[in-house]
Amino acid sequence: MVSAGDFRNGITLEIDGDVVQVIEFQHVKPGKGAAFVRTKLKNIKSGGVVEKTFRPTDKYPQAHIERSDMQYLYADGDMYNFMNNETFDQIALSKEQVGDAIKFVKENDTVKMLSHQGQIFSIEPPTFAELVVTDTEPGFKGDTATGATKPATVETGARVMVPLFVELGDKIQIDTRTGEYLKRV
C-alpha cells in the first residue's frame, strides 16, 4: 500500500478498479485547513488523464506492471507484430495498443511490452533512436545564427524538427520520450 503522501511521478496504482500512473503531483498546505495532494493521473488502459486530490493519509495498492523485451517484426495494416526473443512466440497488437510509441521504432528493434495481469496495454520504445532522414528541405547558409529548425521526415515516417544543417540521408539521434532531435550520428 502506498499513501498519497508518498506519491511520486511514474508510480502506478490501483484506484477505484482502474490502473493509473501518477504524471504530476503536488503537496499543498493551505493556510487554513488540512494539507492535501493534488495529482494528475493517467489511466493506463484507456489513456485518459484526470486531476484528483487526495488526503495525505489515503492508501492505495501499488499496481505491478510487467515489462518484457519483444522484437518488432513488421506492420500488417493496422496490426503490429512482435516476437518474444526467448520463446519465439509472436503477438499482434492493434494501433490503439501501441499508440504513438511505434513512430520511432524500426523493424527488428527491441521494445518493452508493458502488461498488467497478463493484459498488454502499451509498448515502450528504446530511449534513443537512430534514424535516417528521408525527406527535408535544404538549409540555407547564414540561417544558423538563430538556432532555427526545419521539419524532417525519418525512415519510420515520424516528423521531427531538426537544425538547418541536417540534410537528406543524414542519420540522426532522437529522444523517443520527447520526440526531439539530439545530434547527428
At residue 148, the pLDDT reads 79
At residue 95, the pLDDT reads 80
Residue for grid cell 524500426 = 106
| CA-to-CA dists, residue 174 to 124, 154, 178, angstroms | 14, 10, 8
CA proximity to 133, closest of 73, 184, 75: 184
Q: Please identify, in words, the CATH class of the domain defined by 128-184.
A: mainly beta
- In tens digits, what is the pLDDT along the chain, a chain of 185 residues? 888 888 888 788 888 888 888 888 888 888 888 889 898 888 877 778 889 988 888 888 988 888 888 898 988 888 888 998 888 888 888 887 777 778 888 888 888 888 888 777 778 888 888 888 888 888 666 555 567 788 888 888 888 888 888 888 888 888 887 888 888 88
Residue 171 grid cell: 542519420
State the number of CA atoms in the 13 A half-sphere of 49 facing the CB. Answer: 6
Please give the span between the terminal C-alpha atoms of the chain, in angstroms, as a whole number: 45
* Residue-range domain boundaries for the chain: 2-60, 66-124, 128-184
| CA-to-CA dists, residue 19 to 12, 37, 140, angstroms | 7, 19, 50
At residue 68, the pLDDT reads 86
* Domain 2-60 part of CATH 2.30.30.30: yes
CA proximity to 81, closest of 63, 97, 65, 61: 97
**In whole angstroms, what separates CA 83 from the centre of its chain?**
20
Domains 2-60 and 66-124 share a fold: no
For every residue of 114-169, DSSP letters joined together read: EEETTEEEEEE--SEEEEEEEEEPPP-TT-GGGT-EEEEEETTS-EEEEETT--TT
Which fold is adopted by the domain 66-124? Answer: OB fold (Dihydrolipoamide Acetyltransferase, E2P) (2.40.50)
- Collapse the DSSP code of 99 into the 3-class scheme (helix H, G, I; strand E, B; otherwise coil) and give the result: helix
Tell me the C-alpha distance between 165 and 183, whole Å: 11
At residue 144, the pLDDT reads 58
Tell me the C-alpha distance between 76 and 82, whole Å: 11
- Collapse the DSSP code of 21 into the 3-class scheme (helix H, G, I; strand E, B; otherwise coil) and give the result: strand
